[in-house]
Amino acid sequence: MHEAWLPREHPLHRPRHGRRQLLALICALAFFSAPVSSWLFGARPEQLENRPLAELPSVTADFGFFTGLSGWATDHLPFRKAAVQAVSGISRGVFGEPAPLAGGSHGSPVGAGQRDAKPPIDESVFPPVIEGRDGWLYLGHDVSYRCVPTRTTDEVIAGLRAWRKVVESSGRTFQLVIAPDKSTVHPEHLPEDYPGEDCSVAAREEFWREVPKATGAIDLRGPLRRTAERIGHPVYHDIDTHWTHEGGATMVYQLAERLSPGITGTWEMRPSRQYPHSADIPDLLGQDREVQIQAYALAPDGGEDGTRFKPSDFHEPLRLTSPPKPGMITAPVRLVGDSFSQFASPYFAATHSDITITHPDNVATNPQGTANLLAEGEVITFELSERFVAGGRYPLLEPEVAAQVGAVLAAHPVR
């Protein structure tokens, strides 16, 4: 017998909560149906942050299904970008300060024996954007990922070493280059103080002190700063998190010299076209702003320009081939690279006769397909972003992923 059917004076009587249950059901339906309904009427979720949209958590994740709903609902909120723009405009127009678009708090744990315990840092305490001096904007993940890493430095090193081992044991050449954060190469425009300054600076110093030495990664900090001095302006955009084409070309030069010392001696590079490009960081502030891109022509033999501009995020691998010329890298190269490689791909096309670029996410989501792709190459290059490596955020840092791909490489060795 249901408790609601018992007499009211009965000690086990419990009234129904029909109205409350109905209200809860309506709220739940609205929560799940709003993104779907808006999609049917033409609204599409937009990627505002420098990461993919959160996926709907699996119902098999137990309690993680409920804890993951918040991120999914936020990312797929209809007209989220317009809402962010409105909040930002009101905050700046009325109060004269940026809107607190991200934030949170955490307190010390309460309980016996925990008085001196250091609480874990909640990532939400860090702003999505750090507004620097002279109008510069920095991505908040430059700080938050260093301060709240998901892997230790030793674990990161072990993951990168695992990749070098499986690639080189298959007879292939392995190259690792880490694209420095803008805050690493151009810290002079950071504000005098900002949330996470102490922990991020300490983590950055440890990272560059330990990781290149332990993994053989190419340290681009010096070459990038020398390029900036030579051209007379920064090699990172003031309101975008990425480097300029000069920065991307610097990486291409460094990788080529490692493969074949002296090969860049015949390369001739000169300015070509300019074009506008949507800046990524202002999106997080509800702003639509652009940066001006200066592109370049690059002739590996000193003759005709060999660059090709093919927009790609590399989630679908991008293959670039051309007839070999003097000054080109002719060995097949397979490159795992993220958005920083987008600003280098035209120069890879000009200087490599056979190169294919795939995104780091593909290594974890499709290890078999990525392994088959990498097996086509004699040279395997990894271009990874500092903040994702330092924060341990790449799934490919799991040694098991390297082992799975390595098994395919071992089955197709280069002799």
For the chain, the structural domain boundaries read: 131-411
pLDDT greater than 90 at residue 81:
no
Mean pLDDT of the chain, nearest integer = 85
Task: Give the pLDDT band of residue 415 (cuts 50, 70, 90).
Answer: confident
| Bigger pLDDT: 124 vs 235 | 235
CA trace torsion 310, 314, 317, 323 (10° rounding) = 40
Of residues 215 and 109, the one with the higher pLDDT is 215
Q: What is the mean pLDDT of residues 297-316?
A: 97
Q: Specify the pLDDT at position 124.
A: 85
Which pLDDT value is given to residue 333? Answer: 99
pLDDT band at 191 (very low <50, low <70, confident <90, very high): very high
Give the model confidence (pLDDT) of 330-371 as tens digits: 999 999 999 999 999 999 999 999 999 999 999 999 999 999
Q: How far apart are CA 212 and CA 106, in angstroms?
A: 34
Position 190 scores a pLDDT of: 98
Looking at residue 379, its pLDDT comes to 99
- Name every residue whose Cβ is closer than 8 Å to that of residue 70 and which is 6 or more positions away in sequence: none
Give residue-wise pLDDT tens across range 233-272: 999 999 999 999 999 999 999 999 999 999 999 999 999 9
Q: Say what the pLDDT of residue 91 is.
A: 46
Q: How far apart are CA 96 and CA 115, in angstroms?
A: 39
pLDDT at residue 104, rounded to an integer = 38
Model's pTM, two decimal places?
0.76
pLDDT per residue as tens digits for the range 155-183:
999 999 999 999 999 999 999 999 999 99
Residues 137 and 48: their CA atoms lie apart, in Å, by 15
Return the bridge partners of 137, or none.
Answer: 131
Residue found by looking up tokens 């190169």 in the block = 355
pLDDT in tens, 9-63: 555 555 555 566 666 667 666 666 666 666 666 666 665 555 556 666 665 555 4
pLDDT band at 74 (very low <50, low <70, confident <90, very high): low
Q: Does residue 313 carry a pLDDT above 50?
A: yes
Average pLDDT over every residue of 372-377: 98
pLDDT reported for residue 57: 63
Q: What percent of the chain stands above pLDDT 90? A: 70
Average pLDDT over residues 226-234: 98
What pLDDT is attached to residue 208?
A: 98
